[in-house]
Structure 1
Amino acid sequence: MRALPLLLGLFRAQALAPGDKAPLLEAQDSYGRPVNLRGSYVVLWFYPKAKSPGCTAQAKRYSELYPEFQRLGARVYGVSHDPAREQCDFVEKLALRGGMIPDPQGRLARAYGVRSFFGFYSRDTFLLSPEGRIERIWRGVNPFKDADTVLAYLKELREKGR
Protein backbone atom coordinates (compact mmCIF):
# COMPACT_ATOMS: atom_id res chain seq x y z
CA MET A 1 0.00 0.00 0.00
CA ARG A 2 2.90 2.40 0.56
CA ALA A 3 3.88 2.19 -3.10
CA LEU A 4 0.62 3.76 -4.30
CA PRO A 5 1.22 7.20 -2.66
CA LEU A 6 4.78 7.15 -3.98
CA LEU A 7 3.56 6.34 -7.47
CA LEU A 8 0.88 9.02 -7.33
CA GLY A 9 3.52 11.50 -6.18
CA LEU A 10 5.17 11.16 -9.58
CA PHE A 11 2.15 12.83 -11.14
CA ARG A 12 1.63 15.54 -8.53
CA ALA A 13 2.35 19.13 -9.53
CA GLN A 14 5.12 21.03 -7.78
CA ALA A 15 3.77 23.85 -5.64
CA LEU A 16 4.63 27.11 -7.39
CA ALA A 17 2.73 30.27 -6.54
CA PRO A 18 2.55 33.83 -7.83
CA GLY A 19 5.51 35.79 -6.56
CA ASP A 20 7.83 32.78 -6.54
CA LYS A 21 11.03 32.95 -8.52
CA ALA A 22 10.33 31.37 -11.90
CA PRO A 23 12.42 28.37 -12.92
CA LEU A 24 14.41 30.13 -15.65
CA LEU A 25 15.98 27.12 -17.26
CA GLU A 26 17.93 27.33 -20.46
CA ALA A 27 15.72 26.34 -23.36
CA GLN A 28 15.70 26.23 -27.14
CA ASP A 29 12.75 26.71 -29.43
CA SER A 30 11.73 24.05 -31.92
CA TYR A 31 14.17 25.51 -34.48
CA GLY A 32 17.13 25.31 -32.08
CA ARG A 33 17.28 29.01 -31.22
CA PRO A 34 17.97 29.91 -27.57
CA VAL A 35 14.96 31.11 -25.59
CA ASN A 36 15.47 33.72 -22.89
CA LEU A 37 12.79 33.50 -20.21
CA ARG A 38 13.92 36.80 -18.65
CA GLY A 39 13.53 40.51 -19.32
CA SER A 40 9.93 40.73 -20.50
CA TYR A 41 6.60 39.14 -19.81
CA VAL A 42 6.66 35.54 -20.99
CA VAL A 43 3.66 33.28 -21.48
CA LEU A 44 4.41 29.55 -21.23
CA TRP A 45 1.40 27.48 -22.23
CA PHE A 46 1.90 23.76 -21.72
CA TYR A 47 -0.18 21.48 -23.93
CA PRO A 48 -0.60 17.70 -24.37
CA LYS A 49 0.12 16.95 -28.04
CA ALA A 50 0.80 18.86 -31.26
CA LYS A 51 -1.86 18.51 -33.94
CA SER A 52 -4.57 17.21 -31.59
CA PRO A 53 -7.89 19.12 -31.83
CA GLY A 54 -7.74 21.02 -28.52
CA CYS A 55 -4.06 21.85 -28.90
CA THR A 56 -4.64 23.03 -32.46
CA ALA A 57 -7.43 25.36 -31.33
CA GLN A 58 -5.29 26.68 -28.47
CA ALA A 59 -2.27 27.26 -30.73
CA LYS A 60 -4.35 28.99 -33.39
CA ARG A 61 -5.88 31.36 -30.85
CA TYR A 62 -2.49 32.28 -29.39
CA SER A 63 -1.29 32.87 -32.95
CA GLU A 64 -4.27 35.10 -33.77
CA LEU A 65 -3.69 37.17 -30.63
CA TYR A 66 0.11 37.20 -30.96
CA PRO A 67 0.30 40.81 -32.24
CA GLU A 68 -1.63 41.93 -29.14
CA PHE A 69 0.75 40.04 -26.85
CA GLN A 70 3.69 41.64 -28.65
CA ARG A 71 2.13 45.10 -28.33
CA LEU A 72 1.92 44.52 -24.57
CA GLY A 73 5.57 43.45 -24.44
CA ALA A 74 5.01 39.72 -23.98
CA ARG A 75 6.58 36.74 -25.67
CA VAL A 76 4.53 33.55 -26.07
CA TYR A 77 5.77 29.95 -26.12
CA GLY A 78 3.88 26.69 -26.32
CA VAL A 79 5.61 23.81 -24.51
CA SER A 80 4.99 20.11 -25.06
CA HIS A 81 6.70 16.76 -24.81
CA ASP A 82 6.73 16.58 -28.62
CA PRO A 83 10.11 16.49 -30.35
CA ALA A 84 11.27 19.61 -32.17
CA ARG A 85 10.52 18.23 -35.64
CA GLU A 86 6.89 17.54 -34.75
CA GLN A 87 6.51 21.03 -33.31
CA CYS A 88 8.05 22.56 -36.44
CA ASP A 89 5.55 20.66 -38.59
CA PHE A 90 2.75 21.94 -36.34
CA VAL A 91 3.96 25.54 -36.65
CA GLU A 92 4.46 25.36 -40.41
CA LYS A 93 1.21 23.53 -41.17
CA LEU A 94 -0.85 26.13 -39.28
CA ALA A 95 1.42 29.15 -39.97
CA LEU A 96 1.56 29.78 -36.22
CA ARG A 97 3.09 32.90 -34.71
CA GLY A 98 4.90 32.80 -31.40
CA GLY A 99 7.35 30.10 -30.41
CA MET A 100 7.30 26.46 -29.45
CA ILE A 101 9.63 24.79 -26.98
CA PRO A 102 10.16 21.04 -27.23
CA ASP A 103 10.51 19.38 -23.83
CA PRO A 104 10.94 15.67 -24.63
CA GLN A 105 12.80 14.96 -21.37
CA GLY A 106 10.18 16.83 -19.32
CA ARG A 107 12.69 19.23 -17.76
CA LEU A 108 10.49 22.33 -18.04
CA ALA A 109 7.35 20.43 -17.10
CA ARG A 110 8.95 19.15 -13.89
CA ALA A 111 10.37 22.58 -13.03
CA TYR A 112 6.96 24.21 -13.40
CA GLY A 113 5.04 21.39 -11.74
CA VAL A 114 3.12 20.48 -14.87
CA ARG A 115 1.58 17.05 -14.65
CA SER A 116 2.64 14.52 -17.25
CA PHE A 117 1.06 11.20 -17.98
CA PHE A 118 2.88 9.09 -20.58
CA GLY A 119 4.34 12.29 -22.09
CA PHE A 120 1.04 14.18 -22.36
CA TYR A 121 1.27 17.40 -20.37
CA SER A 122 -1.62 18.92 -18.49
CA ARG A 123 -2.90 22.22 -19.86
CA ASP A 124 -1.26 24.73 -17.59
CA THR A 125 -0.30 28.30 -18.42
CA PHE A 126 2.22 30.53 -16.66
CA LEU A 127 2.80 34.24 -16.98
CA LEU A 128 6.34 35.20 -15.99
CA SER A 129 7.15 38.77 -15.03
CA PRO A 130 10.04 40.72 -16.54
CA GLU A 131 11.78 40.32 -13.16
CA GLY A 132 11.75 36.53 -13.52
CA ARG A 133 8.91 35.81 -11.09
CA ILE A 134 5.72 33.85 -11.48
CA GLU A 135 3.09 36.50 -12.14
CA ARG A 136 0.11 34.17 -12.55
CA ILE A 137 -0.66 30.45 -12.95
CA TRP A 138 -3.67 28.92 -14.67
CA ARG A 139 -4.03 25.16 -14.17
CA GLY A 140 -6.21 22.86 -16.26
CA VAL A 141 -7.09 25.60 -18.75
CA ASN A 142 -9.78 25.48 -21.39
CA PRO A 143 -7.89 25.38 -24.72
CA PHE A 144 -10.58 27.48 -26.41
CA LYS A 145 -10.40 30.32 -23.85
CA ASP A 146 -6.84 30.23 -22.52
CA ALA A 147 -5.22 32.81 -24.81
CA ASP A 148 -8.06 35.30 -24.29
CA THR A 149 -7.90 34.87 -20.51
CA VAL A 150 -4.15 35.43 -20.39
CA LEU A 151 -4.34 38.43 -22.73
CA ALA A 152 -7.09 40.05 -20.63
CA TYR A 153 -4.99 39.59 -17.47
CA LEU A 154 -1.91 41.05 -19.18
CA LYS A 155 -3.94 44.06 -20.35
CA GLU A 156 -5.06 44.65 -16.76
CA LEU A 157 -1.44 44.55 -15.58
CA ARG A 158 -0.35 47.02 -18.23
CA GLU A 159 -3.24 49.37 -17.40
CA LYS A 160 -1.99 49.35 -13.81
CA GLY A 161 1.43 50.41 -15.10
CA ARG A 162 3.14 47.10 -14.54
Structure 2
Amino acid sequence: MPDINDPAPDFTLPRDGGGTVTLSELRGTPVVLFFYPKDNTPGCTKESIGFSSEMPAFEAAGAKVFGISKDSVKKHDNFVEKHALTTPLLSDAEGTTCEDYGVWKEKKMYGKTFWGIERSTFLIGADGMIKQVWPKVKVDGHVDEVLAAVRAL
Protein backbone atom coordinates (compact mmCIF):
# COMPACT_ATOMS: atom_id res chain seq x y z
CA MET A 1 0.00 0.00 0.00
CA PRO A 2 1.45 3.39 -0.91
CA ASP A 3 2.14 5.57 2.11
CA ILE A 4 2.19 9.26 2.99
CA ASN A 5 4.64 11.24 0.78
CA ASP A 6 4.70 8.51 -1.89
CA PRO A 7 3.67 9.50 -5.41
CA ALA A 8 0.10 8.38 -6.09
CA PRO A 9 0.03 5.58 -8.68
CA ASP A 10 -1.41 6.94 -11.93
CA PHE A 11 -4.38 5.34 -13.66
CA THR A 12 -6.97 5.85 -16.37
CA LEU A 13 -10.32 4.26 -15.55
CA PRO A 14 -13.81 4.36 -17.08
CA ARG A 15 -16.44 6.17 -15.04
CA ASP A 16 -20.17 6.04 -14.55
CA GLY A 17 -22.05 7.93 -17.23
CA GLY A 18 -19.26 7.43 -19.79
CA GLY A 19 -15.78 8.81 -20.29
CA THR A 20 -12.59 8.15 -18.38
CA VAL A 21 -10.65 9.72 -15.54
CA THR A 22 -6.84 9.93 -15.59
CA LEU A 23 -5.31 10.80 -12.23
CA SER A 24 -2.27 12.62 -13.65
CA GLU A 25 -4.58 14.99 -15.57
CA LEU A 26 -5.95 16.20 -12.21
CA ARG A 27 -2.56 17.48 -11.02
CA GLY A 28 -2.98 20.88 -9.40
CA THR A 29 -6.13 19.72 -7.58
CA PRO A 30 -6.38 17.65 -4.39
CA VAL A 31 -8.04 14.28 -5.05
CA VAL A 32 -9.83 11.89 -2.70
CA LEU A 33 -10.01 8.25 -3.79
CA PHE A 34 -12.24 5.98 -1.76
CA PHE A 35 -11.97 2.29 -2.58
CA TYR A 36 -15.00 0.23 -1.63
CA PRO A 37 -15.89 -3.47 -2.04
CA LYS A 38 -19.18 -3.54 -3.96
CA ASP A 39 -22.06 -1.42 -5.24
CA ASN A 40 -25.41 -1.72 -3.45
CA THR A 41 -24.10 -3.33 -0.27
CA PRO A 42 -25.03 -1.61 3.02
CA GLY A 43 -21.65 -0.15 4.01
CA CYS A 44 -20.71 0.84 0.47
CA THR A 45 -24.08 2.48 -0.10
CA LYS A 46 -23.80 4.44 3.16
CA GLU A 47 -20.25 5.56 2.32
CA SER A 48 -21.14 6.58 -1.25
CA ILE A 49 -24.21 8.52 -0.09
CA GLY A 50 -22.05 10.21 2.57
CA PHE A 51 -19.47 11.40 0.05
CA SER A 52 -22.23 12.47 -2.35
CA SER A 53 -23.99 14.53 0.32
CA GLU A 54 -20.74 16.36 1.07
CA MET A 55 -19.70 16.93 -2.58
CA PRO A 56 -20.47 20.68 -2.40
CA ALA A 57 -18.16 20.98 0.64
CA PHE A 58 -15.37 19.02 -1.09
CA GLU A 59 -15.79 21.18 -4.20
CA ALA A 60 -15.70 24.35 -2.07
CA ALA A 61 -12.41 23.07 -0.61
CA GLY A 62 -11.11 22.61 -4.18
CA ALA A 63 -10.99 18.81 -4.12
CA LYS A 64 -12.24 16.12 -6.50
CA VAL A 65 -13.69 12.90 -5.04
CA PHE A 66 -13.92 9.52 -6.78
CA GLY A 67 -15.17 6.13 -5.62
CA ILE A 68 -13.43 3.06 -7.03
CA SER A 69 -14.53 -0.58 -7.04
CA LYS A 70 -14.23 -3.55 -9.39
CA ASP A 71 -17.89 -3.23 -10.38
CA SER A 72 -18.64 -2.59 -14.06
CA VAL A 73 -19.61 0.83 -15.39
CA LYS A 74 -23.13 -0.55 -15.97
CA LYS A 75 -23.40 -1.56 -12.27
CA HIS A 76 -22.06 1.88 -11.29
CA ASP A 77 -24.67 3.57 -13.50
CA ASN A 78 -27.44 1.58 -11.79
CA PHE A 79 -25.98 2.33 -8.32
CA VAL A 80 -25.77 6.06 -9.09
CA GLU A 81 -29.33 6.15 -10.39
CA LYS A 82 -30.80 4.10 -7.54
CA HIS A 83 -29.26 6.30 -4.81
CA ALA A 84 -29.00 9.66 -6.67
CA LEU A 85 -25.22 9.69 -6.12
CA THR A 86 -23.22 12.72 -7.20
CA THR A 87 -19.78 11.25 -6.56
CA PRO A 88 -18.18 9.93 -9.77
CA LEU A 89 -17.58 6.17 -9.60
CA LEU A 90 -14.67 4.56 -11.43
CA SER A 91 -14.62 0.96 -12.63
CA ASP A 92 -11.43 -1.00 -11.98
CA ALA A 93 -12.79 -4.21 -13.48
CA GLU A 94 -9.28 -5.60 -14.10
CA GLY A 95 -8.21 -4.77 -10.54
CA THR A 96 -4.90 -3.16 -11.56
CA THR A 97 -5.52 0.10 -9.72
CA CYS A 98 -6.73 -1.78 -6.63
CA GLU A 99 -3.48 -3.73 -6.66
CA ASP A 100 -1.37 -0.60 -7.27
CA TYR A 101 -2.96 1.01 -4.20
CA GLY A 102 -2.61 -2.16 -2.12
CA VAL A 103 -6.32 -2.49 -1.34
CA TRP A 104 -6.84 -5.91 -3.01
CA LYS A 105 -6.45 -8.15 0.02
CA GLU A 106 -7.21 -11.56 1.38
CA LYS A 107 -10.22 -11.17 3.66
CA LYS A 108 -12.14 -13.40 6.06
CA MET A 109 -15.86 -13.38 6.75
CA TYR A 110 -17.96 -16.02 8.47
CA GLY A 111 -14.98 -18.39 8.52
CA LYS A 112 -14.40 -18.16 4.75
CA THR A 113 -11.30 -16.69 3.15
CA PHE A 114 -11.60 -14.73 -0.09
CA TRP A 115 -10.00 -11.86 -2.02
CA GLY A 116 -11.65 -8.47 -2.08
CA ILE A 117 -11.21 -4.74 -1.73
CA GLU A 118 -10.32 -3.51 1.74
CA ARG A 119 -12.29 -0.29 2.24
CA SER A 120 -9.58 2.39 2.12
CA THR A 121 -9.30 6.10 1.30
CA PHE A 122 -6.39 8.09 -0.06
CA LEU A 123 -5.97 11.88 -0.03
CA ILE A 124 -3.70 12.99 -2.84
CA GLY A 125 -2.29 16.51 -2.80
CA ALA A 126 -2.25 18.90 -5.74
CA ASP A 127 1.39 17.83 -6.26
CA GLY A 128 0.37 14.20 -6.91
CA MET A 129 1.79 12.96 -3.61
CA ILE A 130 -0.22 10.97 -1.07
CA LYS A 131 -1.00 13.18 1.92
CA GLN A 132 -3.09 10.83 4.03
CA VAL A 133 -4.18 7.18 4.00
CA TRP A 134 -7.13 5.62 5.80
CA PRO A 135 -6.86 1.80 5.66
CA LYS A 136 -9.65 -0.49 6.94
CA VAL A 137 -12.18 2.35 6.95
CA LYS A 138 -15.15 2.30 9.29
CA VAL A 139 -17.93 4.21 7.49
CA ASP A 140 -19.40 6.17 10.43
CA GLY A 141 -17.74 9.59 10.64
CA HIS A 142 -15.30 8.83 7.84
CA VAL A 143 -16.52 11.40 5.30
CA ASP A 144 -16.24 14.20 7.89
CA GLU A 145 -12.71 13.11 8.78
CA VAL A 146 -11.65 13.14 5.12
CA LEU A 147 -13.26 16.53 4.54
CA ALA A 148 -11.39 17.97 7.54
CA ALA A 149 -8.11 16.62 6.11
CA VAL A 150 -8.87 18.20 2.72
CA ARG A 151 -9.59 21.55 4.35
CA ALA A 152 -6.32 21.30 6.31
CA LEU A 153 -4.21 20.95 3.13
The answer to whether the superposition gives a TM-score over 0.5 is yes
Q: Which residue does 1:57 correspond to in 2?
A: 46
1:59-85 deviation line (CA, Å, top 9, x unaligned): 111011000000111111110111111
> Greater shift after overlay, 108-117 or 98-107?
108-117
The structure where strand makes up a greater share of residues is 2
Q: Which residue does 2:111 correspond to in 1?
A: none
Q: Structure 1 length as normaliser, TM-score?
A: 0.83
CA positional deviation for 1:152: 1.0
Is the aligned partner of 1:134 residue 2:130? yes
Is the aligned partner of 1:152 residue 2:148? yes
CA positional deviation for 1:116: 3.6
Is the aligned partner of 1:94 residue 2:62? no
User: Against the structure 1 CA distance between its residues 95 and 119, is the aligned structure 2 distance closer, same or farther, given a 3 Å change threshold?
Assistant: farther
Q: Which residue does 2:57 correspond to in 1?
A: 68
Corresponding pairs, count: 143
After superposition, residues 1-162 of structure 1 pair within 5 angstroms as 14=1, 16-37=2-23, 38-39=26-27, 40-117=29-106, 118=114, 120-157=116-153
Rounded Cα–Cα distance in structure 2 between residues aligned with 1:104 and 1:58: 20
List runs of 5+ in structure 2 lacking aligned partners. 107-113
TM superposition outliers: structure 1 runs of 4+ over 6 Å: none
Look up the equivalent residue of 2:100 and give its one-letter code. Answer: A
CA positional deviation for 1:115: 2.6
| C-alpha contact (below 8 Å) 1:125/1:138 kept by paired residues | yes
| C-alpha contact (below 8 Å) 1:41/1:130 kept by paired residues | yes
Q: Structure 2 length as normaliser, TM-score?
A: 0.88
| C-alpha contact (below 8 Å) 1:123/1:140 kept by paired residues | yes
Rounded Cα–Cα distance in structure 1 between residues aligned with 2:99 and 2:136: 16
CA positional deviation for 1:119: 5.7
> Share of identical aligned residues, percent?
36
Rounded Cα–Cα distance in structure 2 between residues aligned with 1:60 and 1:42: 18
Query: Secondary structure at the residue paired with 1:48?
Result: coil
List runs of 5+ in structure 1 lacking aligned partners. 1-13, 158-162
| C-alpha contact (below 8 Å) 2:7/2:128 kept by paired residues | yes
Rounded Cα–Cα distance in structure 1 between residues aligned with 2:148 and 2:46: 18
Rounded Cα–Cα distance in structure 2 between residues aligned with 1:116 and 1:32: 28
The structure with more radius of gyration: 1
1:29-64 deviation line (CA, Å, top 9, x unaligned): 123312132321111000011000011110111011
